[in-house]
Amino acid sequence: MEFDFKNMMELSRLSSRGVYGKALSDITQANDNIMAVVADVMTSSKLEEFCKKFPDKFINVGIAEQNMISVSAGLASEGYNVFASTFAPFASMRCFEQLRTQVGYMNLNVKVVGLLSGFSGGVVGNTHYGLEDIALTRTIPNMTVISPADCVETYKVIEALKNYIGPCYVRLTGVNGTPNAFKENYEFKIGKAIQMTEGEDIAVIATGTMVYEAMRTARALKKNNILVSVYNFHTIKPLDYETLDKIFSKYKLLVTIEEHFKIGGLGSAVAEYKSDKKAPPQLIIGVEDKFEKAGEYNYMLDKTGLTAPKIAEKILKKLEEI
Amino acid sequence: MIDLSLRAKNIRKNIIEAGFKSKSAHYGGSLSCVELLTYVFSIFKKENLENRDRLILSKGHCALGLYAVLAEFNYITKEELLTFNTNGSDFPSHCVKNLEKNIELSSGSLGMGLGYAIGQAVALRKKRLDNKIYVLSGNGEANEGSFWEAVMFIGANKLNNIILIIDNNKMQLDGFSKDILDIKDWKNKFSSFGFEAIEIDGHNFEEIKNAINASTKVNKPLAIIANTTKGRGVSFMENNPNWHHSSITEEEYNHALKELEV
């Protein structure tokens, strides 16, 4: 895929799961070892084209997420590069033990794609929100955890996973119309964070759709003469320690933002690493420890304080304290 | 060729010896599946790491039973067997994947082996390999919903390279299955999901052989409900819930070995 303006805009119109289906179809060749496994979400994974092109590389196990992961592990044990997908809570929780014992423990080449994570399920509600998946999946040894910032990055992640061998959980956030954080082509590498804006006062580390929101926040804070470096930590595990070390030595405040419960997510991962380092104070911004009443995507982001104005407000308050 | 009954006797002694040395073991379920595993390994095909039959020990807590069989068939050494359950051993209480030694997967959490077999069965078909995938499950394991997720898929997709063997010793950790979660009518359950279901005496080699041979005659996945005795071969362990997982004293150890000599 040529990452020109037109193609990047078209990707953003597909939403992240649409990009997943397109990317998997694009990267697969008839004679390669890729397999796609779903639990009754062929259409939701936007795998129609993949199925048409590669019917013998596709398995639908029905509404049976545990079996989806066991089957994927069995395929991977035979040398296949397996992409398994369903909605994030079911992809990470319903089959968590299979992920841990069959994929992680045996270190098998299974990529699990959690669709509609964060609040992307919108009015569908709490059963379909993915607010725990980072916390859960990153506890599994051998597991790589990736949360792409936008549709462009989602495409690049799937592309990168073609040649990556090992367990991986990919968390897709955003809905139709969620803007791209990236406006031009760039180099994506698993495990390597990307600096999106430069500013000398504070560092904002974000993942998933919060990268774009962090960039909006940076623009808002500029009006208060606060200069913000935004970092896109698309890979939550393994964490990019090298970039974190640089961040720790440069800024007076470190902020992490994620569309995920504050417990166990990106903020926690950064705090774990930071705990025995000389580093600036950290403000963790994420979803509080409760089930909200459900609503549309943008409504949920606003209600849980994950929009730029509310994020900026929290940062200003924190700056007063330190 | 060594008589299978003699092998079974050696394997039971292996179980008692390695279990005693390690202090504790899942004796009951390891002893109940001895003939089943012995027969499978007597016909096991392995040309190389690709072209090989697969034996999935889905009831992973009976790893000792598998190790004892692997030792009898010289896939592992007696010394390796005797590291069973010792600190840092490659042969712990629940098995850890080791293809060189025919330990097909890491198991121990129940209800996951059959789904894994599906992935392998599909892969073998794609690779045009006609090897068999034997899955040894416990009857207690069928309490798990994920077990039936896999059963449904195998039946619906006619994966006839899978041979599921249920070591039906009619017990589980808390005691007798009929008092815990009574599963009746095994044969009809599997038949209704599209399996060829055969019920046998799981300690009778002739019946095991005939049942496994049936897989070549039907174009269906095969489920063998092998009725067995938990703790088989050691009188004080047979049908005794206390021997699901336990340790034996030296006196009990000597007594057990004496019984197995007969």
Q: In Å, how far are B137, B186, B189, B197 from B192, measured between CA atoms? A: 19, 10, 5, 10
Mutate to test the interface with B, among A70, A81, A107 (most CBs of B within 10 A): A70
Structure tokens that stand for B131 in this block: 């090897």
Q: Do B153 and A67 touch (CB under 8 A)?
A: yes
Helix orientation angle between A266-274 and A241-250, rounded to the nearest 10 degrees: 70
* Number of other CB atoms surrounding residue B144 within 10 Å: 18
Looking at CA atoms only, how far is residue A123 from chain B in angstroms? Answer: 29
Task: Indicate whether A220 pLDDT > 70.
Answer: yes
Q: Do A98 and B115 touch (CB under 8 A)?
A: yes
What is the count of residue pairs from A and B with beta carbons less than 8 Å apart? 90
Q: What is the mean pLDDT of chain A?
A: 97
Q: Which of B119, B123, B152 sits opposite A70 (nearest CB)?
A: B119
CA A242 centroid distance within chain:
20
Interacting residues of B74 by C-beta distance below 8 A, sequence separation 6+: none
Rg of chain B over all Cα atoms, to the nearest angstrom: 17
CA angle centred on A195, ends A189 and A198, rounded to 5°: 165
Distance from C-alpha of A55 to C-alpha of A59, rounded to nearest angstrom: 8
Structure tokens that stand for A276 in this block: 């025995």
Chain B partners within 8 Å of A61 (Cβ) = 149, 153
Interacting residues of B61 by C-beta distance below 8 A, sequence separation 6+: B26, B29, B93, B94, B108, B245
**Which of 3.20.20.80, 3.30.9.10, 3.40.50.920, 3.90.1150.10 would CATH assign to domain A194-321?**
3.40.50.920
Distance from C-alpha of B43 to C-alpha of B41, rounded to nearest angstrom: 5
- Delimit the CATH 3.40.50.920 region(s) of chain A: 194-321
At residue B23, the pLDDT reads: 85
Give the residue with greater pLDDT, B261 vs A96.
A96
Cis link prior to A238 (omega < 30° from 0)? yes
Distance from C-alpha of A291 to C-alpha of A314, rounded to nearest angstrom: 21
Task: Indicate whether A148 pLDDT > 60.
Answer: yes
Four-point Cα dihedral A92, A93, A94, A95, nearest 10: 50
Chain A partners within 8 Å of B145 (Cβ) = 66
**0.95 exceeded by pTM:** yes
* Chain B residues 122-181 with a CB less than 8 Å from chain A: 122-124, 126-127, 145-146, 149-150, 152-153
DSSP letter, residue B46: B
- What number is the average pLDDT over the span A73-98? 98
Distance from C-alpha of A286 to C-alpha of A208, rounded to nearest angstrom: 12
Question: Where does residue A31 rank: exposed (0-12), middle (13-18), buried (19+ CB within 10 A)?
Answer: exposed
Looking at CA atoms only, how far is residue B123 from chain A in angstroms? Answer: 6
Domains of chain B: 35-229 (3.40.50.970)
Interacting residues of A2 by C-beta distance below 8 A, sequence separation 6+: none
Chain B partners within 8 Å of A62 (Cβ) = 149, 152-153
Q: What is the DSSP string of A213-267?
A: HHHHHHHHHHTTT--EEEEE--EEES--HHHHHHHHHH-SEEEEEEEEESTTSHH
Cβ atoms of A54 and A80 within 8 Å: the answer is: no
Distance from C-alpha of A34 to C-alpha of A58, rounded to nearest angstrom: 9
Q: Do A74 and B123 touch (CB under 8 A)?
A: yes
Q: What is the DSSP string of A19-60?
A: HHHHHHHHH--TTS-EEEEESS-TTTTT-HHHHHH-GGGEEE
At residue B37, the pLDDT reads: 98
* Chain B contact present for A72, CB below 8 A: yes
Catalytic, out of A49, A65, A198, A292? A65
* Number of other CB atoms surrounding residue A273 within 10 Å: 16
Side-chain-side CA neighbours of residue A158 (13 Å): 29
Q: pLDDT truncated to tens, each residue of chain B (262 aa)?
A: 579 999 999 999 999 999 999 989 999 999 999 999 999 999 999 999 889 999 999 999 999 999 999 999 999 999 999 999 999 999 999 999 999 999 999 999 999 999 999 999 999 999 999 999 999 999 999 999 999 999 999 999 999 999 999 999 999 999 999 999 999 999 999 999 999 999 999 999 999 999 999 988 888 999 999 999 999 999 999 999 999 999 999 999 999 999 998 8
* Chain B contact present for A110, CB below 8 A: no
At residue B49, the pLDDT reads: 87
Helix orientation angle between B34-42 and B4-22, rounded to the nearest 10 degrees: 120
CATH class of A5-171: alpha beta
A159 catalytic per annotation: no
Interacting residues of B156 by C-beta distance below 8 A, sequence separation 6+: B193, B194
At residue A312, the pLDDT reads: 98
Distance from C-alpha of B56 to C-alpha of B120, rounded to nearest angstrom: 10
User: A111 by DSSP, 3-state: which?
Assistant: strand
At residue B262, the pLDDT reads: 81
Q: Which of A59, A61, A70 sits opposite B116 (nearest CB)?
A: A70
Structure tokens that stand for B124 in this block: 């073998």
